[in-house]
Structures are given as structure tokens and as C-alpha cells.
Amino acid sequence: MRTRPILIMLVPLILGAVALAQSLVIESWRNDDLVIWRDTIIPAFNAQFPDIEVVFAPTAPAEYNAVLNSKLEAGAAGDLITCRPFDTSLGLFEAGHLVSINDLPGLENFSSVAKSAWITDDGSHVFCVPMASVIHGFIYNADAFTELGLSEPLTNEEFLELLEIIKQDGSYAPLVMGTNDQWEAATMGFQNIGPNYWKGEEGRLGLIDGSIGYNEGGFLKAFEALATWVPYLTDGYQAVTYPDAQNSFTLGLGAIYPSGSWEIAGFNAQADFAMGAFPPPPPAGQEVCYISDHTDIAMGLNAASPNAEAALTFLEWMTTSEFAELYSNALPGFFTLSSHAIELTDPLAQEFLSWRSICESTIRSSYQILSRGNPNNENDLWNASAQILNGTLTPQEAADQVQQGLEAWYEPQQ
Amino acid sequence: MPPRRRKPFPFHILVFLTPAVLIYTIFMVYPLIDSLRLGLFSLNDTGREVFVGLDNYRTLLTSDLWAPRLWNAIRNNFVLFAIHMSVQNPIGLLLAALLSSQIIRGRALFRTLIFTPTILSVVLIGFSWRLILSPLWGIAKDILGIFGLESLYRPWLGLESSALVAISLISVWQYVGVPMLLFLAALLGIPDELIEAARIDGATGWGVFWRIKFPLILPTVGIVATLTFVGNFNAFDLIYTTQGALAGPNFSTDILGTFFFRTFFGIQLQLGNPTMGATIAGVMFLIILAGVLLYLFGWQRRLQRIEL
Amino acid sequence: MTSRRGGNKRPPRGFGHWGQVVAAHAVLITYTVIALFPVLLVILNSFKSRRAIFRNPFELPNSSNFDTVGYQTVFEGANFLLYFRNSLIVTIVALLLILLVSSMAAFALAEYDFPGNALMGLYLAVGIMIPIRLGTVSILRLLVGIELVDTLMGLILVYLASGIPLAVFILTQFMATVPQALKDAARIDGASEYRIYALVLPLIRPALGTVAVFNMIPIWNDLWFPLILTGTERAKTVILGAQIFLGQYISDWNAVLASLTLAMLPVVILYIVFSRQLIRGLTSGAVK
């Protein structure tokens, strides 16, 4: 009975929360970037558009799809939607959740390659403003390399010799990576070194038109190359998670971290040793090197947004060189997809970017079209790659398993 | 038997029932039925819902794509349940028996402390155990080292053979407080005279427990088993926080909860499939319903017969 | 086990008795250590530098490894005081309402023999068996429809609805144990049915405590509904606020450990408050 006054006191508190503020809400999976958006990007936008309040409301990456889809279904999602590349966002566009932004002024600052991940199959509608791509490669502990007298490997054979030397020495884990979360095995393993074996775009497009399968040629070789990593992985790698591996490397316990450029900001903040980077080394005798330069992130307009006009203003601002410069430097390793010439200040990020001029670029093999069906090609690759490293599948078995999954629904492969 | 009230219309019954029934119906039953209904529909090419009857259930139970995952998840759920029944509930009973005993000092303190893990977020539990068992942090290895057993260390959470058992034991650790409290309440509810009488007849502590106390708390054993069953078949959070929605390695920790989540909401590039997700939820519901009915009509009825 | 050899008519004394006492305490102490060790590990390490967390996880915080950088990160990145307020309001209001409406329904089910009683009991209990998560999209649509999305009230209603089945189930069992003579005596004195409900309620205090503890935990710790039903700062709960520093993809261990510690403290305090009630009820013998 004493509870009654308390309840009555609480009513205004609860009701007070109902009044809605007029502001743009950005949905994103990049919770790591919360502070950068809040303290750098949004203030820069507000300097020009002081009347539009912007809130960056990220969700943890693992939950993003589920949360976003639920909110979109119910009409409760934010005004601006951070777009994953290809089929996931295409699905949102086809379901009417994202609008076509063909007429957005400033879209001419993006090449057709940059827009390719957020465009309908017939090329008639672009639905997200491309933000950044990420490049795969290896980050290494430069102090450890100096200590052991090592230099960056130019071929895969040199790479394996290098790993053997580090292993024999014993003071560092040669390759810092775990298979617990599965996706690293596919993303930082298979998709990182693979383009060298399947010849980049040639192989990737071959999968799409059905002229090559996962269990033959370059793709099989890529699985086999991945299997050669097993003796050099961190102790107990089967239970090592992604953050475990990151911490392990930045604490100086390992020598080489199979990676992507998105790690740069975090590593700069946490590592107290010098770092370098090298691109995935091609097999000896291969003249051309290939890198995965993956279109990763973009921003679209929620079709149900009540603040569409303000949101379009924000999207238009995102096409400017000001945004490109801010974003690329605030988040070194996320390389702008716009054609603005911008100055990168971070040396490690510059190193990654420089590979664009010496190697052929491609994107991850499973992202375009191949992950539309069930079983999902990307998820199959996670499972197969992790199983190769865990020693529960041979490269051939893993390749067959992935190929079977694709053949189950993808006609050109049947 | 409660006395029959012979009033014209028992308005008070309505008053007592209405708030709970109304809120429960609007905010739980309706959304759940609305979702379960989806299991009988399928999305056609234009994204419209089409009634397909039990087709989704047939697909789930028979197709090469779905059936192996489903049976794997159900099997893992039963392993989870078996480990809880054979480890969690006996430990809970043992602790409750000790805590109800007059010879223990500081019973309230022990009770409070042992229950602590149960009140903590699964996120915290998952994270701490992941750290403890992590090969990188090496705590588990160090602790084994104290007993000279360092060589027994394995990255348990990462191995197909041991991940599910390790997760189950973490869950046991977290929830052992629940059966403990329920058993404790039942044990404390046994009249002292009964025990005194048994003692005078020459029964020992051990004998009193098994011959007098245990039969009296059998109804609680049934409730605990049912709650464990329901809890285990609804489980999701711990596996999601430690192993992710893919329930690795290679689906060895995949249970119905994670299977449902992945299917309903999608994962990474895989778009969600609400209709198949709802079908999986329908299967979960049927399994749990079967378990509860078994308890209601099997266990409880037999107990009533014993009491007669 | 020693007691098997032990006494005849009275509880055994002497060596066997002491052995039993020591063994019983040893079991309890061992289990308590196992129960608390991981929790203490998180709290202690949240006050240490990252290097110290890794190199010497067992070391107590001291002058050489003490570091509150995790707490700084957490407080800079999030408005924790607001989140605490939100979590407290949601948890407490939802709990009080669950106890109120469920005890009323349980009273009706246990006390009156009306047509459809069993069916109503089953209807209310069926919710125990289905994860409410399944209804997420429908719940969200519903809340959008009545303009309660992104409010504390929306969360409270969802937790209230999902707490009712188990609460009614447990409370009905306990309501049935209240001696009939007591209620009949009150009826003879002319008490209304509402008065009798008010009379019975204090008698099942331990059950109410149990229900409160069982419901408080999932409500406070829930990540899912705050994630879906709230979007902006003003309705965020502690666990959702801490989520920014948690999860599989976050490598800042200092922030993770600090936010875990912060998210854990209030629920421990709440638990201690309710568990007093629970334990007093258990030991007073009111259940018999």
C-alpha cells in the first residue's frame, strides 16, 4: 500500500519520455565509431546545418541485422540506415525500406565501381551513398621483425619460411588469429589470400557465371593455402575470439596479424610497438598480385523517415570532399569511395592504400549475388574455412562442401 | 474444497482476473499468435504472404537443408537438459540439504552468496567464463597447474567435442541457485515433528533425508525438472554471447534458440526468413508443451495417487 | 555420510558429528568460492591496466597496476546515470505491477471454483513455454501503433506481460496453501473478497519475494527489448548502455570489465534488498 505514492510519482517521469524530439537518427553497426561521429563528424555537419540535430545510434555488429530488420518491419527504424554491401541492402531496397537516391546531387562524385555494391542488378537505381572500402593484408609487429632480423615476404614461399623462423624462435606467436568466431578464418584468411590464387575479378566473376567452382582451380588452391597456416596459429586458436586475437597482437605477443585495414585505428591506440603491413604475397613466379579492396559501408535513406528532407541534406553532405577527408582521417583504414583527392595522414593507412597501384583489386567472392540463396555462401565459407583450420575438414572436403551448398540453389553452378 | 459462493454474479472474480488477463493477452498472447501464424505462411516472389498450411513444417522436418540442422539442435537441447538434470539439480539439492541443516553456521550468508551468479547478466557470465577458459589469459591452465594437471588443458570452448559440455556446465554454474532455493523452501516446509519422530524411531541423518524428507519434496523435484526443461528449451543467451549466433564450432553448440534466431532474423549476409523462423518456434513450442503436459499428467497425477 | 555409522536415537555427537560439521562447511565454502570467483575476477581486473589484466590476472589491484581507464572510457562514451535511472524505473515499476496483477489473478484461480478455472490457469501458464522474443516484430508494431515505442512505459508493459505467466503459476500454488479456515473466519466476520485478498497477500510474502527475484533478474539483465524497442538515449537501460562496450567485436577489455562491473552493482543491491524479504519469509515458516 505504501507503493501507491511511489507509482504516482513515477507516472510523470514515464510520460515525460513520450514527447518526441525532431532529429535525424542514424542506424549503424559501427559502435566502435560512436565517439568519432559524436565529436568530429556530426559537429562538422552542424557547423553548416545548425538546425538539423543528428544522433548516431549504433547497435553491436552481431545484432545489427536483426535489430534493423525488426525496426524497419515495424516502422520504427532511424532516418538514415547504414548499408552493408550488395544483397543485404538490395533486399532492403526491394522490400521498399530504402529509397532510390538517383537524383541526389553529389552522386556524380562516385565511380560506377564505387556504386556497384549498392545498385539494382539492372543498374537503374542507386540506393545508398558509398562511404568506404577496406583492404585486406597482413599487419606485423615491426619491432619483432627487427629483433628477429626479418623482412616483408614477397612470395607465399617466403611467407611460410618466415612463419617457420618465428615459430622456431618461439618468442612470438607467428600468426595471431583464432577460429572461435569463424568469420576471421573466411574473411582474414580465405578472402585475404584467395584473390592471388583465383586471379581476382577473373575468378570471382567466373563463380557468378558458373565457369569455375569452389572445388577446383584457384579456389581449391586458396583453401589449400589456408590449410598451410595451421601449424603457425596462436596456441589454443580454436577457442581464441576476435577480440582475444586483437589484444594478443597489440600486447606484443604475436608477430603477424592477418587483417584488414579497418584494424588500423584500434591498433594505433593500443599497440606500443611499431607496425608495418604487407599485401598477401602471391605464389612464387606469379607476376601479378591481387588484393581484396572490399566495398564495405554506405548510407541510405529509410523510406519511412518523416524527416526525409533533412536526411537528404545529410546524405548530400556525405558526397562532399569535406566528409571524405574527415571520415578517412578519423577512421584510418576506411578508404573513401568518392573520387575526391584527399590527403591521408596515417602512414599505415597510406601503406594499405598504396597497394591499389601495384596490385589488381577485387572484392570478396561471396558478396555479390552468391549470398542471395540458402544456404548462404558467405556463411558456408565461414564454416568451411574455420573447419580447415580446426583440422576437422581437409581443403578438398571443405571446398566440396561449399560448392555443394552453392549448387543447391544457384543455377549457373548446377 | 472452497465454499461455493452463491452470489448472483461474482464480479470480484472478474476484477481479480481482468488486469492480468488483459495485459497478458494484448502484449504477449496476441504477438505470439501473430508470429506463430507466420509459420503457416510463406512469402511469394512479390513478398506477399501466402497460406501454405503445414508445408513449412514438412520442409523443416524433411528437406536436406533444414532437417539435419533441426535434429542437431534438438539433440543438443537434450544434451543440455541431461547435463542440467544430472549435474545442476543434484548439486542444488545437496546445497539445499546442507543449508537446511541446523549444524551449518552462516546459512543466510551462504545462501545469498551461492545465489549471486543467478542474478547476473548472461553477458557478464559468458564473458567471464570465456576469459577464464581462454587459452590466451591462461587462468584455467594456471588453476590446473596448481594441481599438477596442466597437461589436461584444452581450448574446450573451441573444440567440437567439448564446447557443448563446457557451455552446459557454465549454465549449471549460473543457475544452480534456482533449484537450490526451491528445494530449500520445500525442505524448510517439512514439519519438525515428522523428522523428530523419525529420529526417535532410530533413523540417522542420511536415512531421515532419503526416507522422510525426499519423498516429501518430490513435488518440488517435479517442478524443478519442468522449469529446467522449459528453461533449457528456451535457452539462447549464453550460447549467443559465448559462441555467437552461428553456435560454433561447426554448429556443435547450436540449439533451437540459436537456430530460431539465425533463421528468423538472418545473420551477416543471410536475410531473415520470418516464416521458417516462426516454424522453428512452433516446433519449440510443441516440444515444450509436450514436456509440460508430461509433467502435469504423468508426474503430478502419480504423486496424487501416492498421497492418497 | 559419516552419520551412517553415527548415533542411534539422538543426532550423533562426538567425533562423527564434528567430522560431519566440518565436511558440510567445507562443501559449502568450496561451492561459494566457485560461485564467486569469476565475478571477483571481473571486478578486481576492472581496476587494473590492460597489461596487468593479461599478465597477472590473479593479482589484486595495487599501486603499480591500478588503472581506472576503463571507467573513464565508459563514462565518456555513455550517459550512465540516466541509464541507471531508466533501468531502476523499468525494473521496479514492472516488478510491482507483476506482483499486483499476478497475485490478484492467482488469488482468483486458487480461491474460487468457477467454470473455466482450469482453462484460465492453463491459458495464463502457456506463456511460460514460449520465448516472448518470437513475438518481437508484432510487439514492436503494437507499440508503434499506440505511440509507446522508445519509452520506458513500452518496456514496462512488455516485461509486465512476459512476467505474468510464471508469477501466476507460482503464486497460485502458494495461494492454495493458505489455510481455508483463516479465510472462512474472515468471511464470517463479514469481510469482502477484496479484504480477504489483502489478508492473504502478506501470508505469501516469501512467494512474492521469490517471484520478485526471479522476475527482477531477467528484466534488469535484458538486452533484447531495450535494443529493439528503444532507439535514443532517453530510454536506454544500463545493459543496453554497456552493450556499446560489450559483445564479440569489442577489444577494449578495460572498458568491458568496467561496464560489466557497473551493470552488475545495482542488481546485486536490489537482490540483497529482496532476498532479505525472501529469507525472512522462508525461515519464518509462513509457507507451511
Residues of A with Cβ-Cβ distance to C243 under 8 angstroms: 31, 60
DSSP structural state of residue B85? I
Under 8 Å CB-to-CB from C31, ≥6 apart: which residues? B91, B95, B114
Secondary structure letter of residue B247 according to DSSP: T
pLDDT at A2 over 80: no
Contacts of B267 in chain C (CB under 8 A): none
Q: Where are the domains of chain C?
A: 2-68, 72-284
How far does the CA of residue B64 sit from the closest CA of chain C (Å)?
A: 25
CA distances (Å), origin A26, targets A30, A44, A54, A81, A105: 11, 16, 7, 6, 20
Residues A241, A246, A247: CA angle, nearest 5 degrees: 100
Tell me which residues of chain A, numbers 256 to 275, contact chain C at a CB-CB cutoff of 8 Å.
266, 270
CA distance A388 to A145: 28
Residues of B whose CB is below 8 A from C1: 206
pLDDT at C9 over 70: no
How many angstroms separate the CA atoms of B185 and C288, rounded?
10
| Pairwise CB contact (< 8 Å): B32 & C27 | no
Stated as kind and residue range, the H or E segment containing B270 is strand B270-271
What is this structure's pTM? 0.86
Beta bridge partners of B267: B270
Per CB-CB distance under 8 Å, the chain C contacts of A55 are: 232-233
Query: How far is CA B235 from each of CA A276, B164, C127, C228, rounded to the nearest angstrom?
Result: 44, 13, 15, 19
Half-sphere exposure of residue C41: CA atoms within 13 angstroms, side-chain side: 25
C93 touches chain A (CB under 8 A): yes
φ, ψ (nearest 5 deg) of residue C146: -100, 20
HSE-CB for A126 with a 13 A CA cutoff: 22
State the CB neighbour count (10 A cutoff) for residue C73: 19
DSSP string, B127-168: HHHHHHH-TTT-HHHHHHHHTT-GGG---GGG-TTTHHHHHH
Which pLDDT tens digit goes with each residue over A233-282?
999 999 998 888 998 999 999 999 998 899 998 899 889 899 999 999 99
| C180: pLDDT strictly greater than 50 | yes
- Contact partners, residue B149, CB within 8 Å, separation at least 6: none
Give the homologous superfamily in CATH for domain A134-293+362-413. Periplasmic binding protein-like II (3.40.190.10)
- Average pLDDT of chain C? 81
pLDDT at B304: 58
Residue with the bigger pLDDT between C96 and A371: it is C96
The dihedrals phi and psi of A299, each to the nearest 5 degrees, come to: -140, 135
pLDDT per residue as tens digits for the range B21-49: 999 999 999 998 888 888 899 887 666 78
C231/A78 Cβ within 8 A: yes
All residues of chain B having their beta carbon less than 8 Å from the beta carbon of residue C260 are: 121, 123-124, 127-128
| 3-state SS, residue A110 | strand
ipTM over 0.90: no
pLDDT digits (tens, 9 = 90+) for B157-191: 999 999 999 999 999 999 998 899 888 888 887 88
Task: Give the up-direction half-sphere exposure of residue C9: CA atoms within 13 A in the CB hemisphere.
Answer: 1
Q: How far is A26 from chain C (nearest CA, A)?
A: 10
Residue B143: per-residue pLDDT: 86
In eight-state DSSP terms, residue B298 is I
- How many whole angstroms separate alpha carbon A171 and alpha carbon A146? 13
Amino acid at A133: S
Q: Report how many Cβ contacts below 8 Å link chain A to chain C.
A: 111
Strand partners, A129: A299
Name which residue leads in pLDDT, B234 or A153.
A153
The residues pairing with B253 across neighbouring beta strands, listed in sequence order, are none
How distant is the alpha carbon of residue A89 from its chain centre?
Answer: 14
Burial (Cβ within 10 Å: 0-12, 13-18, ≥19) of residue C57: middle
| Residue in B closest to C220 by C-alpha | B121
Q: How far apart are CA B25 and CA B28, in angstroms?
A: 6
Residue pair B259/B76 in contact by the 8 Å Cβ criterion: no
Residue A150 three-state SS: coil
Q: What is the CA radius of gyration of chain A?
A: 23
Q: Pick from C2, C10, C22, C28 the residue to mutate for testing the B interface (most B CBs within 10 Å).
A: C28
Cell of A401: 562442401
- State what percent of residues in chain C have pLDDT above 70: 85
> Residue C286: pLDDT band by 50, 70, 90 thresholds?
very low
Closest of B95, B121, B97 to residue B110, by C-alpha: B95
Structural Rg of chain B based on CA atoms: 24
Half-sphere exposure of C115 (CA within 13 A, CB side): 1
Give the CATH architecture of domain C72-284. Orthogonal Bundle (1.10)
Q: Is the CA virtual torsion C233, C236, C238, C243 positive or negative?
A: negative
Using DSSP's 3-state secondary structure scheme, residue B101 falls into coil
Q: How far is A243 from chain C (nearest CA, A)?
A: 4
Q: Which residues of A touch B59 (CB under 8 A)?
A: none
pLDDT of amino acid C287: 39
Q: Is A404 on the interface with B (CB under 8 A)?
A: no
Which domains are delineated in chain B? Answer: 50-116+163-307 (1.10.3720.10)
Q: DSSP code of A40?
A: I
Cβ distance C253 to A247 less than 8 Å, yes or no, reads yes
Return the closest-CA partner of residue B157 out of B84, B220, B225, B243: B243
Q: What distances in angstroms separate CA B211 from CA B97, B194, B198, B206, one per listed residue?
A: 14, 11, 9, 9
How crowded is residue B82: how many other Cβ atoms within 10 Å of its Cβ? Answer: 12
Cα(A66)–Cα(C40) distance, rounded to whole angstroms? 33
Give the residue with greater pLDDT, C2 vs B66. B66
Please, which pLDDT band fits residue A11 given cuts at 50, 70 and 90?
very low
From CA A101, how far away is CA A91, in angstroms rounded?
16
Q: How sure is the predictor about B237, in pLDDT bands with cuts at 50, 70 and 90?
A: confident
| Partners of residue C120 in chain B, C-beta under 8 Å | 17, 21
Has residue A125 got a pLDDT over 90?
Answer: yes
Report residue C233 CA to chain centroid gap: 25
Sign, CA dihedral C153-C159-C165-C167, equals negative
Tell whether domain A19-133+294-346 is in CATH 3.40.190.10.
yes
Closest Cα in chain B, distance from residue A52 (Å): 32
Percent of chain A surpassing pLDDT 70: 95
Region B258-286: mean pLDDT is 86
The phi, psi pair for A119, rounded to 5°, reads -135, 150
Rounded Cα–Cα distance for residues A171 and A144 (Å): 9
* Per-residue burial over A66-97, b = 16 or more CB atoms within 10 Å of its CB, e = otherwise: bbbbbbbbbebbbbbbbbbbbbbbbbbbeeeb
**Which phi and psi (to 5°) does residue A290 adopt?**
-125, 140
Is pLDDT above 80 for B301?
A: no
Tell me what the mean pLDDT of segment A10-14 comes to: 43
Residues 6+ apart with CB under 8 A from A321: A109, A338, A340, A342
A129 phi and psi, to 5 degrees? -85, 115
Which residues in chain C have Cβ-Cβ distances shorter than 8 Å to B248?
A: none
Nearest Cα residue in chain B from C32: B114
Using the beta-carbon criterion (under 8 Å), do C151 and A246 form an inter-chain contact?
A: no
Least confident of A278-287, A356-365, B260-269, C3-12: C3-12
What tens digit of pLDDT does each residue of B81-98 get?
Answer: 999 999 999 999 999 999
Question: Which chains contact B through at least 3 pairs of Cβ atoms less than 8 Å apart?
Answer: A, C
**All structural domains of chain A with their residue ranges:** 19-133+294-346, 134-293+362-413
Residue to substitute from C117, C130, C208, interface B, most B β-carbons within 10 A: C130
- Higher local confidence (pLDDT), A345 or C77: A345
Q: What's the residue count for chain A?
A: 414
Query: Angle C117-125/C152-175 helices, nearest 10 degrees?
Result: 130
Cell of C36: 564467486
Percentage of residues in chain B having pLDDT higher than 90: 32
Write down the H helix ranges in chain B.
11-24, 30-38, 55-62, 67-83, 89-99, 107-119, 122-133, 139-146, 163-175, 177-188, 192-200, 205-207, 214-216, 218-234, 237-243, 256-265, 274-294, 300-307
